[in-house]
Amino acid sequence: MHPVVPEILESETFSDIDREFSRFIARLAADATPAVLLAAALLSRARAEGHFCLDFRKVAGFVLIVQPNDPNGDRLPALSSWTAELLQCPVVGKPGQFTPLVLDFAGRLYLHRYWEYETNLAAAIRSRAGVQLDLQRSAQVENLLNRLFPPGPHSNPAQRLAAAVAAERGLCVITGGPGTGKTRTAAYLLALLLELAGEAPLRIALCAPTGKAAARLQESIDKLKPTLPCTKAILDGLPTESFTLHRLLGLHPITSQPRFHRKNPLPHDVVIVDEASMVDLALMAKLFDSLRSTARIVLLGDKDQLASVEAGAVLGDICHGAHVRSELSGCIVQLDKSHRFADRSGILELSQAVNDGDGNTTRQLLQNYDFGRPGLRGRELPAPKALPEALINECLPRFAELVRETNPLRGLQLLGKFRILCAVRRGPYGVETVNRCLEQALAEANGRPARGLHFAGRPILIKRNDPNLKLFNGDLGILLPDESTGALRAWFTESDGSVRSVIPARLPEHETAYAMTIHKSQGSEFERVLMILPDRDAPVLTRELIYTGITRAIQEVEVWFTEAVLMKSVLQTVKRNSGLRDALWSAASPAAPGGNQP
């Protein structure tokens, strides 16, 4: 082994898992060179950072660790020599070869399983994009569209187009910001498909990546039923149950192997996936692999929101080339008319400025210069020592109502009125600090111990799925006494608007939720939001994170920030390395720089 490689691998650049994976490759190939072992560790690190592969075009030749008195430090090998050396190792192969690691023709290194996921998903998406269904019934489709989407001042041509695409194609992607009517469009296109099916049964699956998102999708469909201009038979055909993707596919909790796959496909004719931006590449590949050849799949999501916590940014990659004329772009419909915000809404303007990467307008809107708009408030981030007082002044009156509330339904409604969103979990401006500060302040105000586990008025966030209790990661609840017995219970909202309770001792893993991370808030909405950014840069601070936090608010958003962190965050975008975008939108994968393909 090269004498400097052990030193690099033992540095803080790599985790224990990265080092162990490098050692595993060394055991598989006794003659593996230092460059191969270093590539293995870098691949492991890239996967932990949300990348699907290691892109050598972005790391080759760069300095990995700066050494004292040596500005060149430990410089990574050049692209051509590094990739050539990798292909000399028996554990690394070209696409199509059965080796533990795969190096593609663009200079991207994959674990074989993930290369297979990406390749199969790209092929499945392109194949379904080219499938056109029921064109012989175009006249019937047109008549039904006229009934479901009648022309008028309140009509939305994009929603009508999305329903038409879903009727004619095997794949339909409906993307748009908050309040643009994605779920409404889904309900109406399902009615259209049920009408087209006639008396033939149409098996429909509603699903989402999390239990909370699946429940919200079902709730939205149920609320929209009375607005559909359809017969009772059609309304009765709409689904009455939603699933998490894991449950739909029957994923094994340990091996993650699905019950449904290409050889045992799902029985459904139509699959609707909400919050598709949260679906990682591996899970999306398993979903497409489980579909029958005649099934339709409809993806709903906001392409500008945060990508999945796991590797990949599938929805963003799919929508990347929507402006290019192709079979795939013909399956993508952008909804851009917001029904949640007025045209001059401050939240809408701020979210658009962030989405455009316009830091100056973002700053001016929040500082209430001439750009000031209703529904926006901004202030300089308090110093760490001043943060408790600022939180107490701003938030204590709002949360004090929860302690005084005795009716669980009203308590849960109060939870939807205001939420603190933090960009980070730890540190002086993280979720843990903010929750601890407010817990202590409310305890002192109400004369109870500051560190009690369960207390009346405590908002809670479920962190682990418990299907038996129908509680899922991301569900929000509140602890309040039962009005009839006085015993403390944890209360949650049902999809029909009613409430149910659970004994606190039976709750799955959970935490106090005066504040929650922006990541955890995806799929939720609140009347008012206070978003707290940290006082220094962090990898999670991106344009997509800021946009997601802002658009959780319906009426008002307030942001506590430092100018430098805000401006840098708006300019920084999520970059997830994968070859999916190239596979979907390029005629051929680009060759690695330098001329020679590995």
pLDDT digits (tens, 9 = 90+) for 280-294: 999 999 999 999 999
pLDDT for 369: 52
- Report which DSSP code applies to 383: P
pTM over 0.75: yes
d(CA 267, CA 203): 7
d(CA 533, CA 518): 10
Q: What are phi and psi of 291, to 5 degrees?
A: -85, 140
The residues pairing with 526 across neighbouring beta strands, listed in sequence order, are 553
Tokens of 53: 């592969």
pLDDT for 139: 80
Cα dihedral 340/344/349/351 (nearest 10): -10
pLDDT for 597: 37
d(CA 87, CA 103): 8
d(CA 432, CA 484): 34
* Whether 94 contacts 586, CB under 8 Å: no
d(CA 480, CA 338): 36
* Whether 344 contacts 373, CB under 8 Å: yes
The SS3 of residue 359 is helix
> How many CA atoms lie less than 13 Å away from 420 in the CB half-sphere?
29
The SS3 of residue 570 is helix
pLDDT for 566: 95
Strands 459-462, 510-512: pairing kind: antiparallel
pLDDT for 153: 75
CA angle 184, 186, 187 (to 5 degrees): 65
The residues pairing with 500 across neighbouring beta strands, listed in sequence order, are 492
d(CA 338, CA 335): 8
Per-block mean pLDDT, blocks of 10 residues, the chain (598 long) = 61 88 92 90 92 91 63 74 92 94 94 95 93 73 90 85 93 92 95 92 93 86 92 93 91 87 96 94 96 96 84 88 87 87 78 93 80 80 94 88 87 91 95 92 73 81 84 87 90 81 92 93 89 93 94 93 95 88 71 36
pLDDT for 539: 85
* Whether 480 contacts 406, CB under 8 Å: yes
* Whether 147 contacts 169, CB under 8 Å: no
* Whether 229 contacts 148, CB under 8 Å: yes
Which ranges in 1-106 belong to alpha helices (H)? 4-9, 16-28, 34-48, 79-87
Residues 6 or more apart in contact with residue 589 via CB below 8 angstroms: 104, 105, 106, 579, 582, 583
pLDDT for 456: 85
pLDDT for 591: 38
> How many CA atoms lie less than 13 Å away from 591 in the CB half-sphere?
7
* Whether 448 contacts 469, CB under 8 Å: no
